[in-house]
A and B are shown apart, each in its own frame.
Chain A
């Protein structure tokens, strides 16, 4: 851990921070993003309360130092990174003070890179920040129900909806729609993990007529489907998706037959990063091939290069609509939401602001 950070925190906090970093590096594939997001907020809330700081700028430096310690550069951690960016935005807003945020020139205030020293002492500033964090938690709490309640606006009776793999948000979305409408769902099984089977079991328990098909049959049946409703792991800054492997070709098939593709995702999945490369290190994650080909077939494993990427890049022109907790948005509108949610200086969490770099160079 950075020596600067260690100077500012107590021993209890240090062990808590280490525990959280360990939590992030374990169980990546099974972790639910909502649970990790809430955990993140609690950990950072404790950090804000117990660390030594006087001004907002110092606090931001502490938070960013801790972020360098966390394994946030892995492609799985975008939900955690996004919540940290939200917290940093809260700190910046509270530090600048109410007059700047309430001014008519509010938009330009978002692009100011310096943080004016504010008249509030630490305790007042801390109270304001913690109140805003409580509001953030409330927003996250209601994010899923906000999305789910829009189901009746997007599903009508006797429709056939195609979905891919497993998503808790989509499952609840469709089950809510079932309360008032009668429709069918076709689920792609999403090999090799076969998460689609779990989705089909849950949907049919909820009373929805479900059909399970193999991923290869997506093109064959998509012309008979009214809409495609999918969830995603991350929404990129231009409206593209980092979704489960196999979603891109379903979206391409939908475009071929002009079937609308609707993505339901809460805004903490919206990340201000763009795709720079398709490589596993930068965007994708390649997991073990044991679900594709048994290791007992060792002869083949040793001679054949087997790839099992976990994610898929879906370009934004294939997507019709995003349903988020703040309502429905076209992919072209997301840039605006990003400018409201996050501060430009926090897009790259490793980035230190200019004054801090000068300070470091001076010492």
Chain B
């Protein structure tokens, strides 16, 4: 009979971001709850059902609820700054456009993955006027921006926001220029972990992707593996201190960053 320990070995192979971690915890609990006198196929069906429920409640419906709340914050004449590509933020902007709100979007992108280009494509396809800059030019464009909407990969128990690397810089620049920073995050992403800096617990992506240039040219460090003194570091996440974030929109409430442990205690992730 399959038990939670079998899942454990498989879950190690899965990328252990916090959001996936919560889902794995949830599944392990479900596996433990299954009564031993059910047949294997019925048990599997039940498990599948609980996974679908998790998805439906915590991801799909939560996303819709967040969209409802966030769209209220988009007003006519806004210039909204977004960072790279996030399904949730794009969904919010497309919904705002569908409700005939008149706004512009400033897409900030960064190397090496340059996923902001896809954001631009989706937004222009929907008829939303866009501007596009690299993160270096964030201070150059910040004056014209009215609000900043960021997505999070996790919200830590001490209020720090874990997001794609560069989120913290955008939070810093926005708060220096006094622009509201709105973070949209489903509650299944809330984590009990605490972290004060971005290095202690992070991920490294493929360093060779930093060598990719648009015209396929070599850069001077293309042979970095032959040089003992050169290293390429491609961080995936960074943590934004709560002082730099104005508000976090979740499906249950709109909270300040520091209310993360309150949500965790309420058991927001439905087991």
Contact = CB atoms under 8 A, between A and B. Distances in A.
Interface of A: 189-192, 194, 197-198, 200-205, 207-221, 223-224, 245-246, 248-249, 252-253, 256, 278, 284, 290-294, 297, 300, 303-309, 312-313
A280 B39 CA distance: 72
Q: Is the interface of B mostly helix, strand, loop or mixed?
A: mixed
A215 B137 CA distance: 11
A212 B172 contact: no
Interface stretch (B6-14, B116-124, B179-187): B116-124
Contacts of A293: 117, 132, 214
A207 B229 contact: yes
Contacts of A278: 140, 143
19 contacts: A192-B134, A197-B219, A211-B233, A212-B232, A213-B234, A217-B238, A218-B169, A219-B169, A220-B165, A246-B137, A248-B139, A278-B143, A291-B214, A297-B117, A303-B124, A305-B131, A306-B133, A307-B132, A309-B137
A252 B143 contact: no
A208 to B, nearest CB: 6
Contacts of B215: 294
Interface string B133-169: 1111111110100000000000000000000011011
Given A191-B110, A214-B166, A304-B130, 13 more contacts: A201-B230, A204-B230, A216-B110, A217-B235, A218-B169, A249-B135, A291-B214, A292-B134, A294-B215, A300-B132, A305-B129, A307-B137, A309-B140
Contact of B137 (A194, A202, A216, A308): A308
A216 B166 contact: yes
Nearest to B198: A220
B232 A249 contact: no
Nearest to B166: A216
B112 interface: yes
B132 A304 contact: yes
B198 A221 contact: yes
B138 A249 contact: yes
B199 A220 contact: yes
